[in-house]
A and B are shown apart, each in its own frame.
Chain A
Amino acid sequence: MLRSRFRLAAVLTVAALVLAACGGGDDDSGGGSASGSSNEIKVFAAASLTAAFTKLGERYSSANGGTKVTFNFAGSQALATQIQQAAPADVFASADIPSMDKVKDLVGTPQNFASNLLAIVVEKGNPKGVKGLDDLASPDLKVVLAAEEVPAGKYAKQVLDKAGVSVSPVSQEDNVKAVVTKVSLGEADAGIVYVTDVTAGGDKVEGVDIRDDQNVMATYPIATVKASKAQGKAKAFMDLVLSADGQQVLKEYGFLPPPTT
């Protein structure tokens, strides 16, 4: 009796852990300890950069004697607020220029390092036959967008405005990854996300292109944080992102080069 009860408890525990692992994606836990320890830098980066920057972090660590890179991935506007409230960041990479502008007194000179286009994300196989933005206005379709407070949500609104399509979303998620999650779970039929999120979304989702004349180019700036006690290391990370090597990694994850202007 006791033994079977124990086993059930174990099963429940494992189940809970598995669920926790699935749900952890849209966590926005800030950097806990103070930065500045000799062998670590903290990079605050837009949620859409999760996969590409994780890869770049590994590159950086192996090229810099094992310096640990700790990431805080979240919506850029949330990261900007955290930096305003003196969160211990060394580098800030934003998915839009307004979020970077919000902290312009607290960071060094920003440089644009990538750009991204928007796409419609649908379930694998596109069961609802979504062909373009016009289809998103259909009342039969459950559309999820990022909240307008989030860059991805702001861009999505611009795209829809440009196309003259009015959409009533069933939810406005607090970051762009949560939009992909809702679609990949089958709860929503479509969402508007970055092209790179469709790539990162795995085999449960696929993308529907948005016509060039309706699309919006998202520009990603990066800067070091003035309050950082690891200026050299922070600068080195920024240089890596801007280097040919770094640009190659970003390209692999679907990012486009920054606008040339």
Chain B
Amino acid sequence: MQTQSSTQPQRSHEHIKGWGADLDPKNRPAYPMERMPPRLKGVHWDQPEQQPVRMEILHSTERPGITPIFGATVPPSGLSGKIRELAFKSSENDIRHWLLLLLADRVNVVEGIGQDLMSGHIPNIFAEMGGKSELKHNPAGLARKVAVASAVIGVGYYLMTRKSRR
């Protein structure tokens, strides 16, 4: 598609339904940004009750403890869990915190494949990556990816076997 813009702005906005409906700040729902008192109804607590802790919950060192409400899913486990625990010894202000978490995420992917295999499930990585839709909507792209991957594997195999022949 060609760019469709000009150096001259349009003058009339009558054809745009609702133009200027929120021009007046009093119609703008987030004006002013910090609005007190809040318009929210239904709050019947000063501080939410503490949610019971039934699994390991890591918390930022930039707060004194866990929050009253938190997600109770996928607790840290395995080697990735140890790396996450280490990461949470650093603050959000420390780049090591985030790099360790990214490392833990990659380790966790390998652990996930291991868990699948241990439970007798062979992951269908082609399907998990949406291979069926790639085949349907982008067969040329899929063929290109297969060709590139085959070439890389082929070159790698050739180099390895050539070295071993010597």
Partners in one complex: no
